[in-house]
Amino acid sequence: MRTVDWTALRPRDEEPAVEGLRERKKRLLRRQLSDTATEMFMERGFDAVRVAEIAEACGVSEKTVFNYFPTKESLVLDLGEATLNSLRTTLTDPDLSPVDAALKILSTELANITSWLSSQNDPTEAKAMLLRFGMLIRSTPSLRAYQRDTADQQVAVASQALAQRTEMSPDDPEPQIAATALLALWPIQFRALRKHLNCTRTFEELHDVVSADVQRAAQLIDTGLHSLAPRQRS
């Protein structure tokens, strides 16, 4: 099972086909810590909740929490970690253009969110929770800073993957600007999700209209990225 995609809002993926008791306990505890922290943050505010309180609510020590999550921010924001892993594997796929690779990752992440929404008993409350989650991040400076740091890591990973495809150095300007352009599609998707969340009748329609917005943005950078090719060095 992947790590948390959207903290408490992530879909409940199927359990791994092969998993020992110890691994299962660790996976479930990680989920419990993240879900509990997210619920407490959304109820009281990020800064008002101490990690020690999260640990007490889950029946573990504060040290145990930090064994699973290196920072307080990572308790609620580790979608970026899953995106990093996807960038490393998908962007190096020679059968996909850089834009198609990014769109494939984004489509999977959007499908996870709409799947979670559609599985909830109260769709209205589920939508409200998703909006509150986004507001929590936007209203908390340390979470916004954590997002920016994660975005910098993602650009670096994407630059490395694109440089590998084009036989360039990750420090060359072409893979750097290409990576920056591709990663700009992620905030486009999040904003489109917020924009259309309460304006669509079904979650399938929500997926389609958000994807359409992302596709429009992708078209603007696709032509330039098609010109990304191995650089002739003198």
pLDDT in tens, 189-221: 999 999 999 888 899 999 999 999 999 999 988
pLDDT exceeds 60 at position 47? yes
The tokens describing 126, both together, are 């589920």
> Of 51, 72, 93, which closes a domain?
72
The boundaries of the domain holding residue 99 are 79-226
pLDDT at 19: 73
In a domain, 15, yes or no: yes
In a domain, 205, yes or no: yes
In a domain, 33, yes or no: yes
> Of 72, 90, 114, which closes a domain?
72
Angle at alpha carbon of residue 12, lines to 72 and 187, rounded to 5°: 55
pLDDT at 230: 63
pLDDT at 148: 93
> Of 55, 72, 89, which closes a domain?
72
Looking at the 3D structure of the chain, how many domains does it have? 2
Question: Over the stretch 7-45, which tens digit does the pLDDT of each residue have?
Answer: 444 444 445 556 788 888 988 898 889 888 988 998 899
Identify the DSSP state of 14. Answer: P
Query: Closest Cα to residue 151, out of 190, 206, 100?
Result: 190
pLDDT exceeds 80 at position 224? no
CA atoms within 13 A on the CB side of 148: 7
Question: Over the stretch 50-78, which tens digit does the pLDDT of each residue have?
Answer: 999 999 999 999 999 999 999 999 998 87
Longest dimension (CA), the chain: 63
Q: What is the mean pLDDT of the chain?
A: 86
